[in-house]
Structure 1
Amino acid sequence: AERGAKYPCPVCGQACSAHDFQEKTWRHWNFFQHHCYIHASVPRVKCQEHGVKRVEVPWARKGSAFTLLFEQAALALVWEMSVNAAARIIEITDKRLWRIVEHYVGKAVSPFNLSDIKPVGLDEAASKRGHNYATVFIDTEKRQEPVVFATPGKGKQPLKQFSAFLEAHEGDPANIREAVCDMSPAFLSGVAEELPNAQVTVDRFHIVQTFTKALDEVRKQESRIKPLPKHLRWGVL
């Protein structure tokens, strides 16, 4: 920069003189499979109102050690695979990649307005091998982008977290009129405690599953009393 050049204060935008310069480095997307870095001498300005502040650069977000293009590529990989797998491809630790993901997810979620949400559906799913579960909440009135909230775990705790999430985004747990879920005692008691005005609707899949299991148990009991025709199981089901 030219001697005596002025730079905008990152808080108010006022043109200020440089206080000093700091050397900064950002990881950029690979160049011919080799790590690529951007090095720059970034000015710090001395604002009369806000004190000494470092100027923001256009190629990276504030506080990040990666360029915007690197983060964009990283998020594109995370969309298609696990964070661990994506981190191995771009050769950074999974913790650093999680920080990128959490920043942009938080930025996308922060403007949510859930004041008009009334029916919700919730279910648990195995997130990986072993007893690791995630509970997902959807707005059953939305056909596009219905997912409202997701959190690790199952049972009552996710419902408590969902209730807090509603309140943090202009919603009210008392406004929820219907909760569609399975017949898990933890879900049912959690709905009663956290969504006091919600009527529970058991979804069709779990109703069919319950009848199927009961029917098969009766068939097994009858087969112990007398022989049944071959392949009867599939015919009965």
Structure 2
Amino acid sequence: MDHCESASTKLLDSATAVLGEQAAALSHVHGLYQTDETARRSLAAAVDAIVQAQARRGKLIVCGVGKSAYVGMKLVATCKSLGIAASFMHACEAVHGDLGDIREDDVLLFISYSGKTPELLNLRPHIPQSTRVMVVTSQSRPEDCLLLADREDGILIQASIHKSEEESFGVSAPTTSATVALAISDMLALTVAGQIHADKRKEVFKWNHPGGAIGMRHEEVEALKEKCLDVSIVELPSPSLSAQDEENDSKAI
């Protein structure tokens, strides 16, 4: 094996190792929710809180900052497509007026791996005590999560990873933690949708997502394929680049 092949192999091994760590993180959290009764009870409580809020015409408000904010935006987008009333509140914008989005029957979900993100902690004094607060975090006990301090009815949704990102990749950039938070969010959204819509979940999604290939019925896709095959290509005259043609055109004008 020459130097170039060796370097390429090393690069690809490093790249696929990232996928391996991501897969291991998902396997870890999957096992957690299969076997840990505390995690399972908390998940059930979170689903029930969202379902009850929806029944009261309330909504799920998701709040985060940084990479967690993007996970939160994805969760809200998924909820909307599944017929779950939801909105995203950025932690920084919240203290500049977006707190007005919170209504009496809403539930608030923080996404914070550490459970003590400063921008989120700054919101705590301004969240009504009547608002149910939930947190997707790496913590395992509500009493260890600062975002749930003084919230007796707070719900902690575990999103731990099998080992730190610093240990996995040599840098603490949100990677496996963001992947796990995203998976937990999908689990939450799909489970809530199942509770609200039961066997009509597919129909609700199709109604809310008429655009794109996802929104097309099978027969519409087939018709589009046929239409594409029948397209005729019309040959247009090529513009002349000769100096003589340009001179003739100028005289004609």
For normalisation by structure 1, the TM-score amounts to: 0.26
Q: Which has the higher strand share?
A: 1
Q: Which has the higher helix share?
A: 2
For normalisation by structure 2, the TM-score amounts to: 0.24
Q: Higher RCO, 1 or 2 (CA under 8 Å, sep at least 6)?
A: 2
Question: In terms of Rg, which structure is larger?
Answer: 1
